[in-house]
Amino acid sequence: MNIVLDTNMILSALFFGGMMERVIDLIMEDKLIWYISQPLLEEVTRKLYELEANTTIITKVTIIFEKGLMINPDVEVNICRDPEDNFILELAEAAKADYIITRDKDLLELPNHQWQNTKIVKPETFLPLLRNKGII
């Protein structure tokens, strides 16, 4: 299953654990394929700097990003209410992702909670989907 995580979901896993940490574990176990892009990497790096993340967090994020499949989206999207979120949609479209996992209202409010063929879901919706598919 191909997925895209928004920046805050990555930060949530790193700082708070919980459901998103479980998603990261599944990525690390090769049960999910996680797509990343340079804009995502740059935004996560910037936010970690702003949050004054410690060495342990920086090490974790480095290891996690090594599991991601880096792609350079060749599409341009200008549909999101918050233009700064369009890069997530570009990444999902280029990756042909099955899901974007987010709590971002601007992404979740897209028609039918979907972009192209990618469903946009919260973590609390995504984990039961994985259980139903036998992934966890």
Pairwise CA distance, residues 23 & 31, whole Å: 9
For the stretch 90-101, pLDDT in tens is 999 999 999 999
- Identify the pLDDT of residue 112: 87
Number of folded domains in the chain?
Answer: 1
- When mean pLDDT is compared across 37-46, 96-105, 108-117, the lowest value belongs to 108-117
Q: What is the CA radius of gyration of the chain?
A: 14
Domain CATH for 43: 3.40.50.1010
**Is 126's pLDDT higher than 90?**
yes
Q: What is the pTM (predicted TM-score) of this model?
A: 0.93
91: how many CB neighbours lie within 10 A of its CB?
26
Pairwise CA distance, residues 118 & 25, whole Å: 22
Cβ(115)–Cβ(93) under 8 Å? yes
Q: Which domain holds residue 122?
A: 2-132
